[in-house]
Structure 1
Amino acid sequence: MTTSTTSESSAATPLIDLQALVVAVRRRRRLWCAMALLGLLIGAAVAVLLPPAPAAVTKVLVAHQEDQPNDTGTLIRTDVQLLGTTRIADQALRSLKSPEKPEDFMRDYRGTGLSNNVLQIDVTGDTDAEAVARAKALADAFVADHAKRVRDIADAEAKGLLAQRDRMQEELAGVNKQIGGRSPDSDPKASASMESLFARRAELTSRVADFSQRAEEARIGTPQLIAGTQIVDAPRAVRHSLPKAAVTNAVIGLVLGLFVGLALAAVGVVVADRPVLRRDIAANLGASVIAELPRRSGRLWQRRRTRVARERLTTSLARTVRGSAEPVSLLELGCARSTSVIALDLARAVAAQGPVVVIDGLPGPQLAKRRPKSGDPTVVSGERAAAVSPQERLIGVGSVAPGTAWTDLQYLGTQTVLVVRAGHGSAAWLHTVARQLADQRIPVIGVVLIDPDPRDRTDGTLWDGLHTALRGRSEIPARQNRTGGRRTERLPVWAAQGPDNDQEAR
């Protein structure tokens, strides 16, 4: 039964709660806002401290013999790759009379195909004049190399056609030698073979003329391609605007910093597993959220709302303390200052019906080193708690942070109100707090949530404690309190499941 219930609850629990993730990331806005601001400052600083090198740009119109309207840019991409070869770099360096190595020079320029026939060349240099000279030398070297390649291709094609023509002419000369001075009608016995020779001669004559014409045509288009490949945009220095570069780099740094900050916040939230929603905090502590208070006073128009919520909480806790014969404690987790303020307000409210003593069990100086005001209750340390008169009502204030002496909590109060800061403790530690309090037989009246998310709309009330809380809702008679009365208390789930588990928990 227990195994099936556990498996069903595990199956119903998502691996990552997106709502809790979004809320937790939003609460860590200081982190990702700081990262975004840092990225913005770094981007602007890079633009100012590391300005771009002097650069020049030029554009070359490249004519191709294989140009087609449906070309996908294969030819211009080939030209871009040819521009980045040591042959063209070496030719440009020779025209510049530079001793630089072609391999080093190739790192200072790049080609970009703007269209099927337009090539842009970007070059950097030590100065604007040097960058312009380099761009012109590269453009001239590319145009000359392209013209040479076109001419070589045309010459090779024409040479092949002329070679075919010469072979046909030799074969035609042999046929003419066989025919001699005879005519088709001169020898009736050999008329069939003569007709074949004359037909062959006519075919060879036609093919010789065709190869001659094709060889001429191969050279005719070459001057057009060479003339069509030219520099259409003279080399010019690229002007850089420092304000524009600073703004651009700052925006890029802002976006990158924001992305990195959000990623770090999300990863940190998933790894830390710190519940933020009141639903998750109540489920992990096994107690309902009874009130919420901001961590700080807030803006001017929010102070009245905060004061009203604090007064309502004080009234509710005072009613609980007056109606209980047992001492009540306030145990904090991540909000010692807020807990001390709540304890003092509660003590002042209860002091109207009798003397009140606040037992200070906080690790910090929130209560010990405060300046007492008129009408404030008496504050004693935990060591002097035993000397308090039985006629005085006790309100203990302690902590359940890591390092707590759990066995000392029962001396602060036999029932408690947990004051927890949202997102401070991990889920595992909230489980530990609930189990340790259950082991000490200290029931949790409720949870006061400090610094809640203002957009949290989840329910922090445990409607079915046996199935949703760490500790069940079954009640058994408890030990006699110091007034001689008996009280009932909530037992942990492991204590409510059977006698064996209860014995093991004890």
Structure 2
Amino acid sequence: MTSTTSEQSAATPLFDLQALVVSVRRRRRLWSSLALLGLLVGAAVAVLLPPPPSATTKVLVAHAEDQPNDMGTLIRTDVAVLETTRIADKALRSLKSSEAPEDFMQEYRGTGLTNNLLQIDVTGDSEADAVARAEALADAFVANHVRRMRETAKAEAKALLDQRDRMRGELAEVNKEIGDRSPETESDPKESASVESLFARRAELNSRIADFDQRAAEARTGTPKVIAGTQIVDAARPVRNSLPKAAATNAAIGLVLGLVLGLAIAAVRTVVADRPVLRRDIAANLGASVIAELPHRSGKLWQRRRTRVARERLTGTLVRAVLGSAEAEPLSLLELGCARRTSVLALDVAAALAADGPVTVIDGLPGPQLANRQRPGGPAVIGGERAGTVSRQEGRIGVGSVAPGTAWTDLQYLGTRTVLVVRAGHGSAAWLHTVARQLADQRIEVIGVVLVDPDPRDRTDGTLWDGLHTALRGRSEIPARQNGTGQRRTERLPVWAAPGPDNDQEAR
């Protein structure tokens, strides 16, 4: 027993991708509606909330530290400097505006196009205002950049000249020491070595002083190049916004976002609800094979004939099941999520059986489903409370429901054999197990399952090939009934529905 359970657990996948795809596809109304809603919202936003007037300008920024292998650090620094209160305040002053710099900073942004090209985008109350703001920002940035480069070059040159002056001071001291040496001391080896070191020190100081002079000159020379290289290369101009293009772009973005959101919601609801859709899963949960299918009713003319043919074929199958029973046990149709289709099917079966004798339809459905569909001159329809008044010699078809809230003990009065008419994706796996167990407890034989609205791309097998192991778990002997002559006869053993757990925890 343990090995069998382990084999079943190993064969059951933890995540059924096929069932998920089918369930999500069946919820196409949800995700297609959200996709359409996103498309409409995106287009409406473009029409009702047009972008404010804007202008753009481009500034060529030169740096003294420009390197071919620079990864954009310098231009990112320029963007950060542009988005400071100092630049915003200077631009507002040139515009003679009283707007706060912090508020103005929210209305423009800088973008580094290359290592030396900066683009400034500004919004305004009008196109002229946006252009004026872009010009003021560009001028303020260029002036700030030039000032910073000059101050940097001046500070660097000053530091180099200070080093040069210090070296000159040391050189003067060395020259003084050399001049203080007397000629008489030249014969002394120690004094001769000291003099040589002083001359070497003087030569070194002269070289360093010349180097500092050269570097200071280069620092002063590089500044004009940076100043001349920093300029506005693209004058401020208004940005033309195309309404059709903006509407199409926003609509496409809304469509994609709505579609992704709809698919995500559909997938989550599918996993949480755990409602079987495939024939294989429904047959396994109910413990009975799928014997027929009724496609979804469509308003298309070329599909109505196919639906009608399928219903006629199913009616013939059920009629043969009733007439082929040697014990003439009453048959019932129990629906789950398709009361209207079940009531129509029951009336069709009763009408077909009426050719061989009187037939009564016992209505056990909640609500006036059959009463509203009773056909003139057709089989009689009575309520479930009058089921005991029907003669045994008279044929009868019971119609009931196995939806939540069903009185399970009343189902045996509708018929000891039943066909479950189940709508795909309507009941959860735990509830299908509950239906199977309750029918087994009531000793109601399940002939098979009629699947309503199946997935057209479902290629799974709805037949229980291991029927004795799965479908006959509720199999037991039925006490013999008394026939009309007072003799007892042995009834055949019915195929009972498979019992299942009563809640989600037991199902898992």
TM tier, smaller: over 0.9
Query: Does the CA contact (< 8 Å) of 2:42 and 2:250 recur in 1?
Result: yes
- Describe the superposition over 1:371-429 as per-residue Cα deviations: whole angstroms up to 9, x where unpaired: 5234x111111122222223210111111111111111111101100111111111111
Question: What is the DSSP-based 3-state SS (H/G/I as helix, E as strand, rest coil) of the residue aligned with 1:357?
Answer: strand
Distance 1:114 1:400, change over 3 A: same
Distance 1:59 1:467, change over 3 A: farther
Query: Match of 1:363?
Result: 366
Question: What is the DSSP-based 3-state SS (H/G/I as helix, E as strand, rest coil) of the residue aligned with 1:339?
Answer: helix
Separation (CA, whole Å) in 1 of partners of 2:181 and 2:47: 94
Query: Does the CA contact (< 8 Å) of 2:164 and 2:213 recur in 1?
Result: yes
Pick from 351, 373, 378 the counterpart of residue 376 of structure 2: 373
Query: Does the CA contact (< 8 Å) of 2:57 and 2:135 recur in 1?
Result: yes
Query: Does the CA contact (< 8 Å) of 2:53 and 2:126 recur in 1?
Result: yes
Distance 1:353 1:151, change over 3 A: same
Query: Does the CA contact (< 8 Å) of 2:402 and 2:435 recur in 1?
Result: yes
Query: Does the CA contact (< 8 Å) of 1:292 and 1:452 recur in 2?
Result: yes
Pick from 483, 489, 494 the counterpart of residue 494 of structure 2: 489
Q: Does 1:304 align with 2:305?
A: yes
Q: Does 1:290 align with 2:295?
A: no
Pick from 381, 392, 395 the counterpart of residue 394 of structure 2: 392
Query: Match of 1:346?
Result: 349
1:109-258 matched pairs, under 5 angstroms: 109-180=108-179, 188-189=187-188, 191-258=192-259
- Describe the superposition over 1:424-450 as per-residue Cα deviations: whole angstroms up to 9, x where unpaired: 111111111111111100010010110
Pick from 407, 423, 433 the counterpart of residue 435 of structure 2: 433
Distance 1:181 1:389, change over 3 A: closer
Query: Match of 1:27?
Result: 26
Question: What is the DSSP-based 3-state SS (H/G/I as helix, E as strand, rest coil) of the residue aligned with 1:390?
Answer: coil
Pick from 332, 335, 344 the counterpart of residue 335 of structure 2: 332
Aligned-pair CA distance for 1:186: 10
Deviates more, 1:80-89 or 1:225-234: 80-89
Separation (CA, whole Å) in 2 of partners of 1:68 and 1:386: 100
Separation (CA, whole Å) in 2 of partners of 1:104 and 1:327: 83
Query: Does the CA contact (< 8 Å) of 1:475 and 1:490 recur in 2?
Result: no
Deviates more, 1:298-307 or 1:326-335: 298-307
Aligned-pair CA distance for 1:306: 2.2
- Describe the superposition over 1:442-474 as per-residue Cα deviations: whole angstroms up to 9, x where unpaired: 0100101100100000000001124444x4275
C-alpha RMSD over aligned residues: 2.2
1:11-50 matched pairs, under 5 angstroms: 11-50=10-49
Query: Match of 1:402?
Result: 404
Which 5+ residue runs of structure 2 have no aligned equivalent?
501-508
- Describe the superposition over 1:99-153 as per-residue Cα deviations: whole angstroms up to 9, x where unpaired: 2222222111111111111111111122222211111111111111111111111
Aligned-pair CA distance for 1:11: 3.0
Separation (CA, whole Å) in 2 of partners of 1:240 and 1:302: 48
Aligned-pair CA distance for 1:195: 3.8
Aligned-pair CA distance for 1:98: 1.8
Query: Does the CA contact (< 8 Å) of 2:122 and 2:130 recur in 1?
Result: yes
Query: Does the CA contact (< 8 Å) of 1:295 and 1:338 recur in 2?
Result: no
Separation (CA, whole Å) in 2 of partners of 1:453 and 1:113: 54
Separation (CA, whole Å) in 1 of partners of 2:255 and 2:429: 33
Query: Match of 2:454?
Result: 452
Query: Match of 2:418?
Result: 416
Question: What is the DSSP-based 3-state SS (H/G/I as helix, E as strand, rest coil) of the residue aligned with 2:149?
Answer: helix
Deviates more, 1:230-239 or 1:5-14: 5-14
Deviates more, 1:300-309 or 1:474-483: 474-483
Q: Which amino acid in the other structure matches residue 59 of structure 1?
A: K
- Describe the superposition over 1:216-252 as per-residue Cα deviations: whole angstroms up to 9, x where unpaired: 1110010000110111111111111111111111110
Deviates more, 1:207-216 or 1:341-350: 207-216
Q: Which amino acid in the other structure matches residue 493 of structure 2?
A: T
Query: Does the CA contact (< 8 Å) of 1:42 and 1:250 recur in 2?
Result: yes
Identity over aligned residues, as a percent?
76
Distance 1:297 1:205, change over 3 A: closer
Separation (CA, whole Å) in 2 of partners of 1:273 and 1:60: 60
TM-score (norm 2): 0.92
TM-score (norm 1): 0.92
Query: Does the CA contact (< 8 Å) of 2:436 and 2:499 recur in 1?
Result: no
Q: Which amino acid in the other structure matches residue 427 of structure 1?
A: A
Distance 1:491 1:333, change over 3 A: closer
Separation (CA, whole Å) in 2 of partners of 1:395 and 1:482: 21
Aligned-pair CA distance for 1:310: 1.7
Deviates more, 1:124-133 or 1:409-418: 124-133
Which 5+ residue runs of structure 1 have no aligned equivalent?
496-506
Number of residues of Structure 1 aligned to a counterpart in Structure 2 = 492
Distance 1:179 1:420, change over 3 A: same
Separation (CA, whole Å) in 2 of partners of 1:242 and 1:451: 44
Distance 1:482 1:233, change over 3 A: farther
Question: What is the DSSP-based 3-state SS (H/G/I as helix, E as strand, rest coil) of the residue aligned with 2:494?
Answer: strand
Distance 1:191 1:418, change over 3 A: closer
